[in-house]
Amino acid sequence: MKIKKQLIINELIMNCSEIIFICPLWWNDLPAILKGFIDKVMKKNFAYESTSTGVKGKLTHIKQAKIITTSISPTWYIRLFAGDAIKSVFLKATLKQIGIKNSKWINLGSIDKLTDQRRKVFLNSL
């Protein structure tokens, strides 16, 4: 069963032109379940290959990735004081290494302080 699910996921990825990741931020970073997904799905010889000069991405057909997150911390805090892991690691390293060069991070920060109306405005802006 696991192999069948893997093949279905691989086929979906090979037939898409955009990929969207939606998750909350945990301690200013992606949650472990998303990191596990990347580890299990974006495997060598599927998403990338090793070359003499490093990793070469194979998912170059994906024209854009969007990462939509929510966080308790304000977005400016994550970017300026918490290391900006989403941009510096996930967008500029992980996604680029699998061949996705165009990516965008959209975060709704201070989620615990926002009204339902503000959350709806955010969702409608996507």
Q: What digits encode the pLDDT tens for the residues 15-27? A: 999 999 999 999 9
Looking at residues 74-81, what average pLDDT do you find?
A: 97
Q: What is the pLDDT of residue 5?
A: 87
Q: What is the pLDDT of residue 39?
A: 95
Q: What would the pLDDT profile of 29-71 be if each residue is shown by its tens digit? A: 999 999 999 999 999 999 999 999 999 999 999 999 999 999 9
49 CB-near residues (< 8 Å, 6+ apart): 55, 56, 58
Q: What is the pLDDT of residue 63?
A: 98
Tokens 């990338």 found at: 48
62 or 3, higher pLDDT = 62
Q: What is the pLDDT of residue 3?
A: 82
Structure tokens at 109: 């920060």
Burial 21-42 (b: 16+ CB within 10 A, else e): beeebeebbbeeebeeebeeeb
- Of 112, 108, 113, nearest in space to 124 by CA: 108
Q: What would the pLDDT profile of 5-16 be if each residue is shown by its tens digit? A: 889 999 999 999
The amino acid at 7: L
**Residues 103/63, Cβ–Cβ less than 8 Å:** no
